[in-house]
Amino acid sequence: YLLDRWRKMRIDEMKYPFVLFISKTQDEQGQRLRNKFAEQIMNELDEFKKIHHGLHDCCLLASFLGPLGAREQIVSLIKEEKMFSCHYGPELVISLGQCGTIEDVPFLIDCIEKESDGSDAVVNKSLKLITGVEMPLRGSHTDKEAWQKWWESQRNLRMKN
């Protein structure tokens, strides 16, 4: 029923429970559906950007990408963001935390510089989701130096093994 309903929905009618439902379908058809939905979201973001010259109001769409496992798309969108000054950028970072891998840690550490006062140390939260490590904040921001030291120590451990 939901899959049939999805085929008739517009992106702006999507709701988070629906996205979570399709994120749990682990078969090949579910993967195709997630890929197609992520592609639709990317197209919608492109159209919105052309019309409105920015993506400030697209945080809901950004929040869908993580559960869909759209890791590559999220990384490309984060690269386009100069600062995480509205809800859209931080939502992308949280989405990457949901579907990212350990290979995304250096990228996220580099993104710490994009945090603003309103982004609520979002990179720290995503790094914790991926690594399981809880790092203290520097004021209200992610501590880039602490994460770099941790990452270097992990690399040294991997080299010894």
> What is the tens place of the pLDDT at every residue in 124-159?
999 999 999 999 999 989 999 999 999 999 987 766
> Per-residue confidence at 85, pLDDT binned at 50, 70, 90?
confident
How far CA 71 is from CA of 14, 35, 68, 119, 141, in Å, comes to 20, 11, 9, 20, 24
Whole-structure pTM value: 0.84
Q: What is the residue type of 28?
A: E
Q: What is the residue type of 80?
A: E
Single out the residue of 90, 133, 87, 95 nearest to residue 114, CA to CA. 90
Residue 90: pLDDT over 80: yes
Question: Quick one: pLDDT at residue 58?
Answer: 85
Indicate the DSSP class of residue 15: -
Residue 5: pLDDT over 80: no
Question: Quick one: pLDDT at residue 159?
Answer: 66
> Per-residue confidence at 120, pLDDT binned at 50, 70, 90?
confident
> Per-residue confidence at 87, pLDDT binned at 50, 70, 90?
confident
User: Long-range CB contacts (< 8 A, 24+ apart) of 57-60?
Assistant: 57/88, 58/88, 59/86, 59/87, 59/88, 59/90, 59/91, 60/16
Least confident range of 23-27, 53-57, 82-86, 96-100 = 53-57
